[in-house]
Amino acid sequence: MRKKGLMTAAFLLFLSAGLLARAPGCLSGKMERPGQPEWPKFYAICVVSEKDVLNAINSLGAPDGCYTEILPGGQLVVIMENKLYLFPIVGGNLEGGGAPADSGSVVGKGVADFSLEGWLSMKDTQDKQHYTWTPLGLSASGFCLPLIYSFEGSTGVDMIRITNPGTKSLFVDAVIGYGMEAERR
């Protein structure tokens, strides 16, 4: 019974992540959520695709004050140096108001309407594995993988898509991942 309640809570949180991922957010990546573990950082290392993006290469590596501009309706897909994973709950447990620790953050400037997705492996009803773009949950300090993903036997995700559905440009300096260990590919 407890597992069913946890699965239900995780599924509802996953559904709300799609709404959160489209909400206006602050692109800072420098704010820390209370109780957030301090894990090693790694960064986006390769631009996979871009649509209506200026200076896409500026989003790679550690934050350096050089920005990629994602124009309205634009989209940027990057590969991370390491895989991102769902981390343990911080601040208690799900029932006590806790939340998963951030898997990463986006460093930029300004407040913007954007969506953030990961290229996640899922199993269909016939237990066949396939990949799909899945909304990532946003927090004031970063983003995390959907909780439901942790029940799929996660192998992590290393491809991130940032979309600008707004009417103003989106400025991104870096995409940061957090890991318990910073192993190179």
Question: Using one digit for the tens of pLDDT, what is the confidence trace for 79-93?
Answer: 999 998 876 655 444
Q: Can you give the pLDDT at residue 20?
A: 38
The string of pLDDT tens digits covering residues 72-131 is 999 999 999 999 887 665 544 445 455 567 889 999 987 778 899 999 887 777 878 878
* Tokens read off for 168: 């103003």
pLDDT bucket at 159, cuts 50 / 70 / 90: very high
Domain extent at residue 154: 2-178
Structure-token match 């913007």, residue found: 112
Would 184 be classed as within a structural domain? no
Q: At 107, which CATH number?
A: 2.60.120
Q: Can you give the pLDDT at residue 37?
A: 56
Would 115 be classed as within a structural domain? yes
* Tokens read off for 139: 């927090």
Q: Can you give the pLDDT at residue 75?
A: 97
Would 170 be classed as within a structural domain? yes
pLDDT bucket at 154, cuts 50 / 70 / 90: low
Q: How many domains does the chain have?
A: 1
Would 183 be classed as within a structural domain? no
Would 26 be classed as within a structural domain? yes
Average pLDDT for the chain: 75
For residue 10, give the nearest of 83, 85, 91, 99 by alpha carbon. Answer: 99
